[in-house]
A and B are shown apart, each in its own frame.
Chain A
Amino acid sequence: MGSYRWNWPILLADPYYGWIVSGFGNTCLIAVLAWIIAFPLGSAIGIARTTELRPLRFAGTAYVEVFRNIPLLAQMFLWYFVVPELLPQDWGRWVKRDMPYPQFLTSVLCLGLYTASRVAEQVRSGLEAIPRGQHHAGLAMGLTPAQVYRYVRLPVAFRIIIPSLTSDFLGVFKNSSLALTIGVLELTSQARQIEEYTFAAFEAFATATLLYCAVTGIVILAMRQVERRTRIPGTIAIGTQ
């Protein structure tokens, strides 16, 4: 280790600086876009699992079980290599030849659908944490089941699960690194590439690590604010992480 020659300035040199910036940008973009898929879809699936309708509950459970019991990397390969082969011929050809940013979009879709299964579990557990009496009270005053979800159960459930949703968002942010396996140049792969070109392994990895930690810290602080703002007066916030 003593013989290691530190070379921090190289990270500011062309083109490595640009690589890190674009890698970081891609990482953030993938995470945010995947979350835009995961949050509404996951919420819908989580709600489906708490309804009285058996087919809906079954479909929700099946979705969650399939997505969380296959390694994310295998899912990435399925979406990228297998699904285009199984699509009707015209679609498959379009995906393989004409779809713009194929690797990028595939990783967004893959991460979004996978993260939806995690969000669904959080939403379900949040809804199940609410005493049944609340549901009854809503119905007893004449609200429809949908209105009970909208005005009574969901507002409380989402408050309860802010901390777990935060860690799921950080999860998709970290998991975006898997996009490198199908060739997306995000933060981790750019760090790896710099290491290969310059042998400045520690500098490159340390920078990437620092950026991941910084975003994690910022997100946690921001979500604490959200939690404080939405806290129900008279109750104690659960606290993020």
Chain B
Amino acid sequence: MIELKNVSKWYGAFRVLDDCSLRIAKGEVVVICGPSGSGKSTLIKCMNGLEPFTRGEVTIDGISVGARDTQLPKLRARIGMVFQNFELFPHMSAAANITLAQLKVLGRDRATAQAKTDALLARMGLADHAAKFPAQLSGGQQQRVAIARALAMDPIAMLFDEPTSALDPEMITEVLDVMVGLAEEGMTMAVVTHEMGFARKVADRVVFMDEGAIIEDAATAAFFGTPRSERAQHFLSKILQH
């Protein structure tokens, strides 16, 4: 479904991504973790072409992301993305945020789009908040609207870029619950996160990155049981200490 082959990226002389290769099969949930600045966010943004890369190849469902003749908007419409800071559009209500791309990208008629939006808001437990604006919602609610916004496009895969890092602790669960639900339904997911509980529970594989390189790519049980690299062990010991 999602495939990265030898992807590298430089900012001038600084190497952000170092020869990264990764395959995510249909229905797979892959968690990407690593210390801050390790390139995880950049990597996930390469998957839908938000970050251009210097070398290598990224394909989604057989279509090359980096190719000149690829219609990036069309490709991106099929891949949902959820951001660390929610990135809801502040001048639109929750419902309008979810409806926008259905109308402007998919060309759905207003009634169909509205029905889809209502169903998703209900599923997120936010039916009463449809008319509210982002600034009137809590962080957890905003992130659930953002997930609904991505799901409204009927994506073939979902990318999550640290979806709970900007949330207060008591709101993390409500967002993770939604993500667990998605994983259990068989959604293909790439998730950058430090939530190791989530990884243990639903991830098929865990990828560990450091200094722009993929250091470890292992089945979840193997990763938590016996991480092979010293750096991954060190990272896990720090993150699981408390």
Contacts and interface: CB of A to CB of B under 8 A. Distances in A.
Interface residues of A, number: 22
B196 to A, nearest CB: 25
Interface in B27-79: 45, 48, 50, 72-79
B91 A139 contact: no
B104 A233 contact: no
Contact of A144 (B45, B73, B78): B73
Contacts of A225: none
Contacts of B153: 141-142
Contacts of B80: 140-141
Contacts of B87: 131, 133-134, 136-137
Contact of B135 (A137, A139, A151, A232): A232
B104 A147 contact: yes
Contact of B76 (A141, A156, A232): A141
Contacts, number: 87
Given A139-B73, A141-B77, A234-B136, A151 B83 contact: no
B81 A137 contact: yes
B149 interface: yes
Contacts of A140: 48, 50, 76, 79-81, 83, 150, 159
A136 B50 contact: yes
B105 interface: yes
A143 B109 CA distance: 17
A18 interface: no
Interface of B is mostly: mixed
A192 interface: no
B136 A151 contact: no
A159 interface: yes
Contacts of A152: 89
A155 interface: yes
| Residues of B in contact with A, size category | 35 or more
A241 interface: no
A234 to B, nearest CB: 3
B224 interface: no
Nearest to A144: B73
A140 B80 CA distance: 7
A89 interface: no
B231 to A, nearest CB: 29
A151 B74 contact: no
Contacts of B75: 142
A182 to B, nearest CB: 43
B206 to A, nearest CB: 24
Given A140-B83, A142-B74, 11 more contacts: A133-B85, A136-B50, A136-B81, A137-B83, A141-B76, A141-B100, A144-B73, A152-B89, A232-B91, A234-B134, A235-B90
